[in-house]
Chains A and B, each alone.
Chain A
Amino acid sequence: MPIFSYLAIPRSGAKESLCAELSALEYCRVIPAENHEVVVLVTEAPDETSEEALQGKLKKLQGLQSLSLAFGYDEKLGRK
């Protein structure tokens, strides 16, 4: 159950379309900022295979300028 959160920066003027694209993806939850061109993305893939597939889809999004990791959790990494 890998869980990650990111700050997603949309391309200029593409915040709404990016939110729509992200919301359409499986395992993604979107929290758009009210007053900045910034979107918080939280992902919750059920396993590593799904996580890799999701990563591939995120890289192809048209409205996405950059994605910065803010938090990462994996059962394996969570236990030292």
Chain B
Amino acid sequence: MKLDRRRFILSAAAGSAVATAGALFPGISFADWPKITGNSGVVSWQKAPCRFCGTGCGVLVGVVEGRAVAVKGDPNCSVNKGLCCMKGYHSVQALYGADRLTKAKIRKNGEMVEVPIAEALDLVAAKLKETRDKHGKNSVAIYGSGQWTIPDGYVASKLFKGCLGTNNVEANARLCMSSAVTGFMTTFGIDEPMGCYEDIDNANVFITWGNNMAEMHPVLFSRMLANRKRRTNVKIIDFATRTTRTSAAADKSILFKPQTDLAVANAICHEIIANDWVNWNFVGEHVSFHKGKTNIGYGTEDNFAFTDQDEAIGFEDYKKFLADYSPEKVEKISGVSAKDIKYMAALYGDPALKVTSFWCMGMNQHTRGTWINNLVYNIHLLVGKISTPGNSPFSLTGQPSACGTVREVGTLTHALPHGTVTDEHDRKMAAEIWGVPVENIDPKPTYHTVEMFRALDRGEIKFMWIQVTNPMVTLPNLKRYRNGAKKEGHFLVVSDVYPTPTTDVADVILPAAMWIEKEGLYGNSERRTQHFGQIVNPPGEAMSDTWQIIEVARRLGFEKQFPWSPENYIEKIWEEYRRFHAGPKHEMASYQVLSERSGVQWPFVNGKETRWRFNPKYDPACTNGKAFDFYGKKDNRAWIWARPYEPAAESPDSDYPFWLNTGRVIEHWHTGTMTRRIPVLHNAMPSSYVELNPEDAADLGVVNGEKVKIISRRGEVTIPAQINGRGVPPRGMVFVPFFDESYLINEVTLDAFCPISKQPDYKKCAVRLEKA
């Protein structure tokens, strides 16, 4: 039976309602559902990870007659145990928007015209070669995504770093978690969390650091709430700059002034030491103390460069450094009462309580993002609450494979699938596995993301290929970079599934297969690798991003490095890639194991997943014979850093008296290109808005729905006001979600970044408001 469009929509409507009922009433059954959908009732179900955030929920996708018609949570996936959020339940509808890109387009005489995809790929290869020959290897670049699959990122790195010899490989995960990476590297010498989601089932106290989990990681937040309900001694403390749904559900909400989390974290450590809550055995055995450079800048100028320099210090030096951060002094900086600082310190300091700290963009999109990551680790290390069930400093990830594709594959300018381009041993390993001369791999990193788009604007980069991301909405200080992208003499290739402001500036648009229209692997926040097969066919000539890169690589003469066939290329790529991670610190599961299970956590050694790293009870890489082994650092210790409070790059003043904070909403994923094509999500949240404090709104004479002009030194946006909505900022702050391309809030934001991680701060810049 053919499934026509009307019947498909009816089926999706019934499926959505049944799925919603399933979430509200566990175990509910609808025997008559197949009758209404007009199908035989035979729905085939296949596993996949959800693609709408970094949690990595397992979903089961229901397929009838070759179309995905339903989603339910995968009960075999330990991440979500059968539960999904609204984006997950409706995710398959994102495949079927009316304006899917199904054919390649190239710009001819200023107009985009459809061409066969083979012709477009010929042009991409020819332009890439011509640009490289004429302007040098670093005139070409690829910009990818934390939504790239692992094979997508791997072949991109192999082609550009291994074959073309340029380190111009970056991904949008630079904008969302590079501070987490540098935080891990500077404290532990090795990337990615030591804990896992099972910490939620063991902790007594959850402290969310600038992290609205209720909207951004709703399935994990539900798990926290379920634990609080089931167990008697569980508390949630929301430590944030604005009141959100997370604050509403928390046992206590504590607000701090933007950027002063640095001072509060130091004050918590001050208080832990003052009350002798330090776990001296742990600190004596497993911790060393360090300091780095201060007054490190903000990167707002082109070609900004910074290299930190660590210096070993003693505990007494560290204690002396903290003297400036007594709770009473920090109250004046942060607006957090000394009493509340002492309360948080007491929770961390109480040896009877297991504490998990969660954070995501609030700490990572921060001009001192590396530092604030270090400082929260400091707290956990001082009291020894780490690497045991329930005791976890846990950096959550925003995208489904920011960890898998960007951090593990190393799709950043300085990185390789194992290690860094600056390390000779790592270059030799890459060259050997890739089958290229080691001289091909340049030992010098080139541009991080912001600087890459500055280089495009300056004309140093002349060819850029963008896949699975929408930088013409997401880059901070957007006007500069959009104007730069439009300049003559550039050639931009964009691979995507729908038209976006980024495809608007493209010279070639390649239609991409989306999510379950291709085989792939993601890696989630808790070191879990998740395989999914191709479940439905892509529309028209849409092609996986991996295969697009392979096609271009072959046209450039790299058949030897990209020899795979369409039938099994993902398996072959995976088995090649996992050679980089052989060994107990990072061993990956085989393709066979991954294809059978709903995700596997690495290190996967002797058939066993690793739940908690650095703890020999769980981690096969521990070899020192002690209770913990922080094997990432040469001194076998985790490092406590003396990092000061330094102000934001731009703070409110008399001309621009408000903070601007930006972020997401539960209904929409990133720039909304997919979720805004899901009617039930689009109708629930059809457009963006600015959250105002009610008293600021009254001063401005604005009521709900009236337009407000937000003006910064870089741009302005006029947008409807929301007062006492789901989020309420304190006086002097406004918040704008970035999902709506009709209101490009990033024309207002500032392209300042953490000098260590190079991750921009989307949470703090100065604006003024006018009633429009």
Interface residues of A (CB under 8 A from B): 1, 3-7, 29, 31-36, 38, 40-42, 44, 68-74, 77-80
A46: shortest Cβ distance to chain B, in Å?
A: 11
| B36-A42 in contact (CB<8A) | yes
Known: A71-B679, A77-B679, A79-B99. A3 touches B29 (CB 8 A): no
* CB-based contact A31/B36 at 8 Å: yes
- In the complex, which residues 1-21 of chain B have their Cβ closer than 8 Å to any Cβ of chain A? 6, 9-10, 12-14, 16-18, 20-21
CB-CB under 8 A for A32 and B32, given A38-B25, A42-B10, A72-B683: yes
Given contacts A38-B28, A80-B99, A80-B676, 11 further A-B contacts (CB under 8 A): A7-B24, A31-B17, A33-B25, A33-B29, A35-B29, A38-B25, A68-B20, A70-B13, A70-B20, A73-B12, A78-B679
What is the CA–CA distance of A51 and B280 in the complex, to the nearest angstrom? Answer: 70
Q: Contacts A33-B21, A40-B21, A70-B680: A1 and B6 contacting too (C-beta < 8 A)?
A: yes
| B97 CB–A CB distance under 8 Å | yes
Contacts of B14 in A (CB 8 A): 5, 29, 31, 40, 42
Pairwise interchain contact B97-A80, C-beta atoms closer than 8 A: yes
Partner of A72, one of B6, B18, B97, B679: B679
- B306 lies within 8 A of chain A by Cβ: no
User: From residue A36, how far is it (CB to closest CB) to chain B in Å?
Assistant: 5
Across-interface contacts of A44 in B (CB, < 8 A): 10
Of the four ranges (under 10, 10 to 19, 20 to 34, 35 or more), the interface on chain B belongs to 20 to 34
A3 touches B98 (CB 8 A): no
In the complex, are the beta carbons of A77 and B682 less than 8 A apart?
yes
Whether A38 and B13, one on each chain, are in contact in the complex, defined by CB atoms closer than 8 angstroms, is no
At the interface, is chain A mostly helix, strand, loop or mixed? Answer: strand
Fill in one digit per residue for B60-72: 1 if any A CB lies within 8 Å of its CB, else 0. Answer: 0000000000000
In the bound complex, residues from chain B placing their C-beta under 8 Å from that of A70 are: 13, 16-17, 20-21, 680
Chain A neighbourhood of B6, CB < 8 A: 1
User: A33 and B683 in contact (CB under 8 A), knowing A1-B6, A3-B13?
Assistant: no
Which 7 residue pairs across A and B have the least CB separation, nearest first? A71-B16, A5-B13, A5-B17, A70-B17, A40-B17, A71-B13, A70-B20
How near does chain B come to A14, taking the closest CB pair, in angstroms?
A: 18
CB neighbours of A78 from chain B (8 A): 97-98, 679
Residues of B within 8 A of A4 (CB): 13
Given A4-B13, A33-B21, A71-B12: A40 touches B30 (CB 8 Å cut-off): yes
How many Å lie between the Cα of A74 and that of B544 in the bound state? 30
CB neighbours (8 Å) of B315 from chain A are: none
Residues of B within 8 A of A40 (CB): 14, 17-18, 21, 30, 33
17 A-B residue pairs with CB within 8 Å = A1-B6, A5-B14, A31-B18, A31-B30, A34-B30, A35-B27, A38-B21, A41-B17, A42-B17, A70-B20, A72-B683, A73-B12, A77-B679, A77-B682, A78-B97, A80-B97, A80-B676
Which chain B residues lie closer than 8 Å to A38 at the CB level?
Answer: 21, 25, 28
Docked CA distance A70–B510 (Å): 34
B31 within 8 A of A: yes
Contact of B174 with A by CB under 8 A: no
| Distance from A74 Cβ to chain B, minimum over Cβ atoms (Å) | 7
User: A6, A31, A71, A79: which contacts B98 (Cβ < 8 A)?
Assistant: A79
B residues 451-466 in Cβ contact with A at 8 Å:
none
Closest Cβ neighbor of B32 among chain A residues:
A31
Separation of A13 and B682 alpha carbons in the complex (Å):
35
Q: Are B28 and A3 in contact (CB under 8 A)?
A: no
Minimum distance in angstroms from B376 CB to a CB of chain A: 40
